[in-house]
């Protein structure tokens, strides 16, 4: 199951130990690690991205749920000077891109007090004990949430509601006088622009999710192949 993991630590060194533990768990076959980052919350509330890594087929942290989580925690003006420039790109602060609930982000925000550090990771895991055991041994508080699938139904309903409003406004224009028509047309133009922007955004999100799904499938296949080779080598190694 694809999940977002956020582990909050008191010290930066523990966060890096946690990241090493995730890589070890991947070698052991307990998880697949798609993306990770270590972020630091400063005393003034700003956030620095200290370290990031993304599995090669995914390309970059930008556009991934992990990247969106970082953006939401830092906020549009919450990044400290020197934060990774590649992350400061439009769409980073959108809860839809994070594919988790606002309550999850709020829980992390409360736990990530000033001077604390968070290890953020997007993983595939079948059971929670391996990660929890390693992180808790390092003093980390683990937050976990399954990633949403594409929210097409909800988005379609919201777009349909906007289009219904648009149809109503256009109907009113037919009955309005000249002065009213001008005002109504301005509302029609504004709502039409919102609908088009929303549809473009949904298309971009859909395309991005498809690319991510394909990349994750490739990563899983590569990991399975590597595990198979390791088992074959072990079986043929003289005792």
Q: Is the pLDDT of residue 236 over 70?
A: no
SS3 state of residue 105: helix
191-220 pLDDT, tens digit each: 889 888 878 877 777 777 677 767 777 777
3-58 pLDDT, tens digit each: 889 999 999 999 999 999 999 999 888 998 888 889 999 888 888 888 776 654 44
Residue 60: the pLDDT is 58
Contacts of 139 (CB under 8 A, 6+ apart): 9, 10, 14
Residue 91: the pLDDT is 46
Cα 152 to the center of its chain, rounded Å: 17
For residue 2, list its beta bridge partners. 124
Residue showing tokens 């922007």: 197
For residue 53, list its beta bridge partners. 36
Residue showing tokens 């595990």: 227
Residues 95 and 117: their CA atoms lie apart, in Å, by 21
Percentage of the chain beyond pLDDT 90 is: 22
Q: Is the pLDDT of residue 88 over 50?
A: no
Gyration radius of the chain's alpha carbons: 23
Highest mean pLDDT among 11-25, 70-84, 179-193: 11-25
Q: Is the pLDDT of residue 233 over 90?
A: no
Question: Span 158-174, mean pLDDT?
Answer: 83
DSSP code of residue 128:
S
Residue 62: the pLDDT is 61
Residue 179: the pLDDT is 82
Retrieve residue 8's tokens: 């909050």
Contacts of 28 (CB under 8 A, 6+ apart): 130
CA angle 24, 25, 26 (to 5 degrees): 90
Q: Between 112 and 147, whose confidence is greater? A: 112
Strands 117-125, 31-41: pairing kind:
antiparallel
Residue showing tokens 């895991």: 125
Which pLDDT band, with edges at 50, 70 and 90, does 85 fall under? very low
Q: Which of 115, 110, 51 is nearest to 83 (CA)?
A: 51
Confidence (pTM)? 0.63
Residue showing tokens 């041994």: 137
Element (H, E) at 27: helix 12-28
Question: Span 159-180, mean pLDDT?
Answer: 84
Residue 138: the pLDDT is 97
Question: Span 139-154, mean pLDDT?
Answer: 73
102-126 pLDDT, tens digit each: 788 889 989 999 999 999 998 888 8
Residue 150: the pLDDT is 45
Residue 237: the pLDDT is 55
Residue 14: the pLDDT is 96
The DSSP secondary structure of 65-77, one letter per residue, reads: HHHHHHHHHH-TT
CB 22 within 8 A of CB 131: yes
Residue 228: the pLDDT is 57
Residues 37 and 207: their CA atoms lie apart, in Å, by 24
């Amino acid at each position: 199951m694809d999940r977002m993991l956020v582990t909050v630590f008191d010290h930066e060194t523990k966060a890096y130990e946690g990241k090493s533990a995730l890589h070890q768990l991947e070698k052991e076959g307990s998880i697949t690690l798609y993306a990770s980052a270590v972020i630091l919350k400063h005393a003034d509330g700003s956030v620095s991205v200290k370290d990031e890594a993304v599995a090669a087929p995914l390309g970059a942290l930008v556009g991934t749920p992990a990247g969106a989580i970082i953006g939401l925690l830092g906020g549009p003006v919450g990044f400290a000077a020197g934060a990774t420039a590649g992350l400061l790109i439009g769409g980073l602060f959108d809860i839809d891109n994070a594919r988790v609930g606002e309550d999850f982000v709020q829980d992390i925000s409360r736990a990530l007090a000033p001077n604390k550090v968070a290890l953020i990771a997007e993983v595939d895991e079948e059971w929670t004990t391996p990660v929890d055991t390693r992180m808790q041994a390092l003093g980390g508080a683990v937050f976990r949430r399954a990633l949403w699938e594409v929210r097409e139904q909800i988005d379609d309903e919201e777009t349909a509601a906007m289009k219904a409003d648009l149809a109503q406004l256009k109907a009113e224009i037919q009955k309005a006088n000249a002065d009213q028509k001008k005002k109504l047309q301005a509302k029609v133009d504004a709502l039409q622009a919102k609908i088009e922007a929303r549809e473009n955004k949904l298309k971009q999100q859909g395309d991005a999710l498809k690319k991510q799904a394909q990349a994750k499938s490739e990563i899983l296949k590569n990991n399975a192949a590597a595990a198979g080779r390791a088992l074959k080598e072990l079986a043929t190694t003289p005792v």
